[in-house]
Amino acid sequence: MQFINKTKYVLVAIAVLMSACATQTITQVVDPTNTYSAQTTYQKLISNYPFIKIASMEPPATVKEIKNISYVQYGNRALQLDLYLPKTPHKKLTPAIVFVHCGGWKHGYRENFTPMAIRMAEQGYAAATITYRLSPEAQYPAAIYDVKAAVRWMRSHAKQYGIDAQHIAIAGGSAGGQIASLVGVTNGEEKFDPQMQGSKISSAVQAIINVDGLSDFTTETALRFEDDPNKKPSAAGAWFGGRYSEKTELWEEASPMNHASKNTPPILFIGSAQTRFSVGREEMIEKLTPLGVHTQVVLLPETPHSFWMFDPWVEPTVKATVEFLNQQFGIQK
């Protein structure tokens, strides 16, 4: 009888523990294959670019860092961001920028954009680096929902952090550049923003910074890489849940080029020497220019993909971003 009672207590304890785990908030999804970081990329690049250094992720005394802020929650899954703010008091509200990390829609971490976020804060911007759901956790269009939720969080907390809610930009690199562009060109479209109906806070952005990201998945060049039949699946195929021939509508829908309109915010394209990553850029510019939408291209010669994580390239990338946004937001420096 004593053994039975002890067994019952153990089973009850296990049940309670399992219940607690089931309701525990999850802020990180552990994926052993997710090794895309500045450190691993550095090892791949150093032989061809022996002069590079991993850009610092340590904020200076002039920048305030607030880490691990939950900006949206789905069930027990919470997505978080890190916020970087200028410590120097300003008479005016601070414009903001949200960074979407790289990693082929399936890998990467928000820390990949920490160096840029810190340097943007040094230039007087509130900068957020965000975690969003990657393809192993949730396929397209979940990432778009997440990024719009992050923008909405920034705007809803504008008063708390001294942010100018009327001047929020979206930026991203590689896959994050494509996501950032798609988020920007679909301002106000409920299909891409399921939280829109139940919120009075807009997720619209006022400028787009696309760093080495695709504008069109469906061109011959893009399909050669993103729909490679030898990859089972390709990074894009995993995100869409099928190859182009199987999920044509989604591949077309996720191409920012197909949403470009007179309502598209001004957009800055920053490109590396690896042209395949910016496929569709020129065609998108040709479509936007007659509509009166301001576009600009800054190319960094002899640069690899993922250049934004390394010195000496962080500085010119930040410089181009700040100059563009200051001009578009009417900020006098």
271 within some domain: yes
Check residues 20 and 53 and name the one with the higher pLDDT. Answer: 53
Taking phi over 0 as left and psi of -120 to 50 as alpha, with beta for the rest, 75 belongs to left
104 within some domain: yes
CA distances from 97 to 126, 245, 333 (A): 6, 36, 18
The runs of H, that is alpha helices, within 74-194 are: 114-122, 142-156, 158-161, 175-185
pLDDT higher than threshold 50 for residue 45:
yes
What's CA 316's distance to the chain center, in Å? 20
CA distance 214 to 254: 10
Residue 144: what pLDDT?
Answer: 98
Q: Do residues 133 and 101 touch, judged by C-beta distance below 8 A?
A: no
Strand, coil or helix: 69: strand
Query: Running DSSP on this structure, what letter comes out for residue 59?
Result: -
pLDDT higher than threshold 80 for residue 190:
yes
Residue 22: what pLDDT?
Answer: 52
Residue 23: what pLDDT?
Answer: 65
pLDDT higher than threshold 70 for residue 6:
no
Arithmetic mean of pLDDT, 31-51: 95
Q: Categorize the per-residue pLDDT at 8 as very low, low, confident or very high, splitting at 50, 70 and 90.
A: very low
82 within some domain: yes
Residue 198: what pLDDT?
Answer: 87
Provide φ and ψ at 322, rounded to 5°: -65, -45
Tokens of 279: 């496929």
Q: Give burial (CB, 10 Å; 0-12/13-18/19+) of 153.
A: buried
| Mean pLDDT, the chain, integer | 92
260 within some domain: yes
Q: What is the maximum alpha-carbon separation in the chain?
A: 85
Strand, coil or helix: 62: coil
258 within some domain: yes
pLDDT higher than threshold 80 for residue 322:
yes
Q: Which residue is associated with the tokens 């893009």?
A: 222
Q: Categorize the per-residue pLDDT at 314 as very low, low, confident or very high, splitting at 50, 70 and 90.
A: very high
19 within some domain: no
For residue range 240-284, list pLDDT tens digits in order. Answer: 999 999 999 999 999 999 999 999 999 999 999 999 999 999 999
For residue range 52-67, list pLDDT tens digits in order. Answer: 999 999 999 999 999 9
22 within some domain: no
Q: Do residues 29 and 131 touch, judged by C-beta distance below 8 A?
A: no
pTM exceeds 0.85: yes
191 within some domain: yes
Percent of the chain, pLDDT > 70?
Answer: 92
pLDDT higher than threshold 60 for residue 135:
yes
What's CA 140's distance to the chain center, in Å? 14
Provide φ and ψ at 89, rounded to 5°: -65, 140
Q: Which residue is associated with the tokens 């052993």?
A: 32
What's CA 58's distance to the chain center, in Å? 20
Percent of the chain, pLDDT > 90?
Answer: 87
Least confident piece of the model among 22-26, 175-179, 253-257, 286-290: 22-26
Domain of residue 46 covers 29-329
pLDDT higher than threshold 80 for residue 19:
no
User: Beta 63-74 vs 77-86: how paired, if at all?
Assistant: antiparallel
Q: How many domains is the chain partitioned into structurally? A: 1
CA 256, 259, 260, 265 dihedral sign is negative
Q: Categorize the per-residue pLDDT at 163 as very low, low, confident or very high, splitting at 50, 70 and 90.
A: very high
Q: Do residues 97 and 125 touch, judged by C-beta distance below 8 A?
A: yes
Query: CATH no. for residue 116?
Result: 3.40.50.1820
Q: Categorize the per-residue pLDDT at 92 as very low, low, confident or very high, splitting at 50, 70 and 90.
A: confident
Arithmetic mean of pLDDT, 132-152: 98
CA distances from 51 to 46, 95, 312, 316 (A): 8, 33, 8, 16
Our CA dihedral for 103, 104, 107, 113, rounded to 10 degrees, sits at 20
